[in-house]
Structure 1
């Protein structure tokens, strides 16, 4: 759901009451980066963003419980938003597939956003290309099912986070090339030079042909607070672009 993440990176605040909801037309989004590059924090920020839009709940899938919730502004962490985020922890690929296959049996309001953190941990159990394709297709099918339940003009967004590896890992490169066919919109995260007591990264969002490429600098302070500023563009700066799997440095 590129627009949700775009709003997170633009301001970190929820959409205003007059903003048009374009979720139904948005492609699924693949969030890519190396270890400790901020993928989980951005997923959680996207969950808070969607939870504040006055729509359905958010379904957040991850293999293990978060040790701590990434911090945000006081408004973003208000209890009503947190209550709309449903965390589920499928411990294996089999359990993840079972959960996705049973989505049509779930009662209650359909999610407005489906998030999956740590896709690489599930793919590592069975790295064959057909299993990667099956899981990707099932994620898209589940989001489409939720969109049908939500209704026309609403839709269920889908953001999946994948940890990239060092160059030379042919199996990972093949998985990534296959996933990019299912996820035309991608956001690449690359470490940036940190300031005192800070962790910084560069985020490049390519929304799959539904908008211009955009870049930001994301800064995490020691207390966990996240701030976002536009990336200072320079002529001829092409150091971050789509198409590689090298540790978050595409």
Structure 2
């Protein structure tokens, strides 16, 4: 869901351009980064952003319950927004597949955004390449089903977070290459040095098509507030 994440990373730019929040969902997005690179915090920020647009519910899938909310901002504590985020915790790949396969039987309004955190934990149960392809295809199929329910011109976005390793095995590299076939847009996260309790990350969005890639500095303050600045404004950046 590149469009939703782009609005989260740079909401002011979307407002200045007069974009319609009900615009059709962009391509599925793969969120990549090492341990502690801010993937869960950014997914949660995307969920809050979508829940606050007055569109519909957000489905947030993760293997285990969040120990604490990644932010303590007014948006993160807004009960109306939190009520729109449906947290579900399939504990294994089998339960995750069952949940996705039964999505067409679920009652209630269809989600406008589907998020999956910790894909690597599910893939670790069966590292065979065909399993990664099957799970990716099923995620896309589920998002397409939700898009059909939502109606034309809007659609359901999809963002999946995957933890990467600095020195991954050949099997990990093969899994990633397979997933990249299904997720044409990718966003890489990398922690950068910060101070005063601030957590900062370099975010590089590589969308599909002819749109050029873009980079930001995403900073989370101690109170959970997120700020975004274009990466080229960072002092001392050799690039």
Fold equivalence (TM over 0.5): yes
Q: How far apart, in 1, do the equivalents of 2:15 and 2:30 lie?
A: 22
Q: How far apart, in 1, do the equivalents of 2:4 and 2:180 lie?
A: 19
Change (3 A) 1:22 1:238: farther
Q: TM-score, normalised by structure 1?
A: 0.87
Deviations 1:71-110 (A, max 9, x none): 1642464221111000000000000000000000001100
**1:73-222 to 2 correspondences below 5 Å:** 73-75=73-75, 77-209=77-209, 211-222=211-222
Deviations 1:26-81 (A, max 9, x none): 11000000001100000001001111121120000000011111216424642211
Deviations 1:161-198 (A, max 9, x none): 00001224111100000000000000000111212322
Aligned pairs, number: 235
Q: TM-score, normalised by structure 2?
A: 0.91
Q: How far apart, in 2, do the equivalents of 1:162 and 1:111 lie?
A: 21
Q: How far apart, in 1, do the equivalents of 2:203 and 2:99 lie?
A: 31
Q: Which range is displaced more, 196-205 or 40-49? A: 196-205
Q: Which range is displaced more, 220-229 or 189-198? A: 220-229
Q: Is 2:54 aligned against 1:54?
A: yes
In angstroms, what is the RMSD of aligned CA positions?
2.2
